[in-house]
Chain A
Amino acid sequence: MNQNTLLLVATRKGAWLLHGDAARRTWRVDGPHFLGHIIQHLVLDPRDGRTLLAAASTGHLGPTIFRSTDLGRSWTEATRPPAFPSREDGTGRSVDHTFWLTPGHASEPGVWYAGTSPQGLFRSEDGGQTWAPFSSINQDPRYLEWMGSAQDGTPDGPKLHSIIVDPRDARHLYFAMSSGGVHESTDGGASFKPLVQGLEVVQGFDPTLLSFHDPHCVRLCPSRPDRLYQQNHCGIYRLDRPSDTWVRIGRAMPAEVGDDGFNMVVHPRDADTAWVLPMDGSSVWPRTSVDGRPAVYVTRDAGASWQRQDSGLPPQAWWTVKRQAMCADAGTPLGLYFGTTSGELWASTDEGAHWQSIVSHLPEIYAVEAAHPA
């Protein structure tokens, strides 16, 4: 029997919670929460199964974090949201929005990490109530150079994302920056080093310069934590540690589809299985499904081959799926979900073989997380 599934949907105009039954057939829609707020990410703490954090801002108001300990029935605001240190000389940076939230290691209850735009790494040790800059990277001149400026970032600001905590070791961390590459720490964040060997950059640029690296989404395989998958601006990659060289597994995608996209989803129990949702990266980068024919692609052999999964998806559609807007639950068979920029949420309860729309007419979806509340 599957646990009940909770879908956490963050949108440009608020957040929605979808409570599913054990069969994942019916969904009770709870929302909007924070109507009008830009919610970049909404995450359930898997360590207690009831604490939610929401990364919020509005068109006018600055960024903050809202916290609920009763699955969204009530919310309180962080007393100290992520913020860079103040500098009197006018050169200090300001957090525009918190983009990414990651719960800390199971052995560290109350610890959370946050990635911001512009790129910054923050940590909370009290369940998200207060946040402080974490590690040296926010001020490190090398990292500041690699982060570049707003000119070098994604359309609504450069972002630090894909913060990953190794489930075997709380001191082993990864994060990624768009732009700025993938980075790893083995000393609890005291130091980080780049992890970009093998990754390609836009043709004509120098791959040894971190500023040109644009990882879109990095995921670690829970069943084999030495394996990482990545959807990059320039292809799909796999990395098997202790190697530090990424392998471009997207070369095996159909040539007419290519291996551009934003999402990367890994199977929680099978490290050879992963999903992507390719987006058109040709010409002026429309970032819609190739030829307007939405499809998910799955590999079941660690990227040696890919199979198209589009049963139930519309034959023609022109939406985009953002990097945080596709995920898996922990059910059997595995459930997959993605949300579109047109505000529609799609679900599969058979590992992508068949898809159905479960909610329509939401605002532009920024992030979808599947969780299992206590």
Chain B
Amino acid sequence: MKVCLPTPLLSYTGQREVEARGASLDEVLDDLDRQYPGLRFRVIDEQGRLRRHMRFFVNGVAVFERATPLLPGDELVLVQALSGG
């Protein structure tokens, strides 16, 4: 599926849109980390919690659970909020 990433993660991916696989948000994050080592820990902490000021949207709807199921045609968007100042 297509994953849209915020600019703070460009140092890992080199591009805003990448492809990743997985049947859940957690699996997609694992796949992203396999492709771009280190990316996951910058977004999800060691207790599995989404870091402050990061939000996920699936097909435009906010999701908060890593177990959220995903389908191959879904679009996942990771958004950064606040914290630039």
**Are B47 and A79 interface neighbours, CB within 8 A?**
no
**Are A94 and B42 interface neighbours, CB within 8 A?**
no
In the complex, what's the smallest C-beta–C-beta distance from B79 to chain A, in angstroms?
Answer: 10
Question: A86 with B83: in contact, given A60-B6, A62-B41, A81-B41 (CB under 8 Å)?
Answer: no
Complex Cα distance, B18 from A224, in Å, reads: 57
B61 within 8 A of A: no
Tier of interface size on chain A: 20 to 34
B46 partner, pick from A64, A77, A85, beta carbons under 8 A: A85
**Are B43 and A61 interface neighbours, CB within 8 A?**
yes
Question: A79 with B38: in contact, given A60-B80, A60-B83 (CB under 8 Å)?
Answer: yes
B34 within 8 A of A: no
B38 partner, pick from A58, A77, A85, A90, beta carbons under 8 A: A77
0/1 string, A264-304, CB within 8 A of B gives 1: 00000000000000000000000000000000000000000
Interface centre among A62, A79, A86, A90 (most CB of B within 10 A): A62
**Are A86 and B54 interface neighbours, CB within 8 A?**
no
Complex Cα distance, B45 from A86, in Å, reads: 9
**Are B53 and A83 interface neighbours, CB within 8 A?**
no
Chain B residue at minimum C-beta to C-beta distance from A85:
B46
Question: A60 with B46: in contact, given A77-B38, A79-B38, A81-B41 (CB under 8 Å)?
Answer: no
Chain B residue at minimum C-beta to C-beta distance from A82:
B46
Complex Cα distance, B38 from A64, in Å, reads: 9
B51 within 8 A of A: yes
B54 partner, pick from A60, A84, A92, A93, beta carbons under 8 A: A60
**Are A90 and B47 interface neighbours, CB within 8 A?**
yes
In the complex, what's the smallest C-beta–C-beta distance from A189 to chain B, in angstroms?
Answer: 21
**Are B8 and A62 interface neighbours, CB within 8 A?**
no
Name the A residues within 8 Å of B54 (CB-CB). Answer: 60
Chain B residue at minimum C-beta to C-beta distance from A76:
B38
In the complex, what's the smallest C-beta–C-beta distance from A350 to chain B, in angstroms?
Answer: 39
A204 within 8 A of B: no
Complex Cα distance, B52 from A95, in Å, reads: 12
**Are A92 and B46 interface neighbours, CB within 8 A?**
yes
**Partner-A contacts on B (CB < 8 A):** 6, 8-9, 37-38, 41-49, 51-54, 80-85
